[in-house]
Amino acid sequence: KPLFFPGLTAMEKKLAEYKCNTNEAIQLKLVRFPEDLEDDNTTFNPEYSHQVFGDDEVAFGYKGLKILLYYIAGNLSTLFRIEYTSKVNEKFDCVEADDVESKIREIIPPGFCTNTDDFVSLLEKEVNFKPFGMLLHTYSIHNEEAGEDITYQIYKADMTCPGFREYHERLQTFLMWFIETASFIDVDDERWNYFLVFEKYNKDGATLFATVGYMTVYNYYVYPDKTRPRVSQMLILPPFQGEGHGAQLLETVHRYYMSSPTVLDITAEDPSENYVKLRDFVLVKLCQDLLCFSPVKLMQGFSQEMVTEAQQKLKINKQHTRRVYEILRLRATNMGDAEQSRSYRLDVKRRLIGPYKKKQRELAKMRRCLRPEEMTNQLNQIDLNLQREQLEESFQQLISDYRRVLERLAQA
* Residue 93, pLDDT score: 67
Looking at residue 232, its amino acid is S
CA dist 412 and 404 (Å) reads: 12
Top CATH class, 15-126: alpha beta
d(CA 65, CA 273): 33
pLDDT at 198: 98
Is 130-331 in the same CATH topology as 15-126? no
- DSSP label at residue 316: B
- Which of 312-343 are b and which e, b meaning 16 or more Cβ less than 10 Å from the residue's Cβ? eebbbbeebbbbbbbbbbbbebeeeeeeeeee
pLDDT score at 381 = 58
Q: How far apart are CA 231 and CA 192, in angstroms?
A: 10
Q: Per-block average pLDDT, block size 10, for the chain (412 residues)?
A: 59 81 97 96 96 94 95 97 89 80 95 96 96 97 89 96 96 96 92 97 95 97 93 96 96 95 92 94 96 96 97 95 98 96 95 80 74 62 74 94 97 88
In a 3-state reduction of DSSP, which class is residue 132?
Answer: coil
> What residues are labeled active site?
269
Q: Please tell me the distance from the alpha carbon of residue 197 to that of residue 138, in angstroms, as a whole number.
A: 10
Domain 130-331 carries which CATH code?
Answer: 3.40.630.30
Which pTM does this prediction carry?
A: 0.89
314: nearest Cα among 303, 301, 324: 324
Domain boundaries, the chain: 15-126, 130-331
Q: What confidence score (pLDDT) does residue 377 get?
A: 61
